[in-house]
Amino acid sequence: MSVPKASSIQFLLSDMDGTLLRPDHSISPRTLDAVRALREAGVAFSLATGRPPRAMQQQIEALGVDLPTAGFNGGSIVRPDGRFLVRHHVPVQAAVTALLLFEALPQIETWVFADNEWLLRHLDGALMPHERQALGYAPKVVDSFEEYLPRIDKIVAASGDHRLLAKLEARLHASTAGQAQASRSQPRFLDVTALEADKGQALSTLAEYLGVPLQRTAALGDGGNDSAMFRRAGLSIAMGQAPDQVKGEADVITGSNQEDGAAEAIERYILMR
């Protein structure tokens, strides 16, 4: 492909986990410097992630992001003052379908995000401690998810059985078609969100908010939930450790998140150092 000239990119929308963040969830000094240089060059920068907005604040402050950011894969776009620019909940019927499917399988940890809380039925999941560290806050144990059904932002099936998650993803595509969507934000996570919760739509919404044409936007990510913004951005950049399918949908590939791939992408393809 012909990579757009540095001066043509006016807005970069980046994923967080596996992209800007290293495996230990830290941000490297080089990445912080690259984002600072990007903003000093007049290029707008924001975040789109599967995380809840509550779990983005530390990174927003560290990166100096002063624009609306997209959580829940674009289901919630939040202004810097906390007001919602966009908010979409999972339809009740789709939520019930996903919960019945996940809770019937002992290999699956079922997590629900609603009312600014991370909700669990029990605390004995193997992946829960790692996610608690990543999100920066503790889950709330509930007897039932029923009362939260009208207000669910995201449902997650978490498991080390990646093949099982792939099968569940395909099954949900069929059973919730036209109601909600299921996507793999990471190999061990299957996210169920509103049909409108789409990073591609988030990119379009934020570009319109900024007055930037889509052909002058760039998207950076590593997961299946990033493909939607790859298809809309003027320049799409996949991380080096991304699955082959995700790499195949990107215009260019950078280094992994262990190799400062996000900083490399900003320097090479946007700042053109």
- In tens, the pLDDT along 176-235 reads 999 999 988 888 999 999 999 999 999 999 999 999 999 999 999 999 899 999 999 999
The 10 Å Cβ neighbour count of residue 186 is 17
- In tens, the pLDDT along 236-273 reads 999 999 999 999 999 999 999 999 999 999 999 999 84
- In tens, the pLDDT along 162-179 reads 999 999 999 999 999 999
- Considering the domain boundaries, does residue 49 fall inside one? yes
| Strand order, beta sheet including 84-87 | 69-71, 76-78, 84-87
CATH number of the domain that residue 103 is part of: 3.30.1240.10
C-alpha–C-alpha distance, residues 152 and 172, integer Å: 17
Given 176, 194, 212, the domain boundary residue is 194
- Considering the domain boundaries, does residue 240 fall inside one? yes
* Predicted model pTM: 0.87
Instruction: Examine the domain organization and report whether 80 and 210 are in the same domain.
Output: yes
- Considering the domain boundaries, does residue 169 fall inside one? yes
Both tokens of 83, joined, read 């007001």
Domain enclosing residue 121, as ranges: 92-194
- Considering the domain boundaries, does residue 99 fall inside one? yes
* pLDDT confidence of residue 272: 84
Q: How many domains does the chain have?
A: 2
Instruction: Reply yes or no on whether the pLDDT at 3 is more than 70.
Output: no
The 10 Å Cβ neighbour count of residue 269 is 20
- Considering the domain boundaries, does residue 75 fall inside one? yes
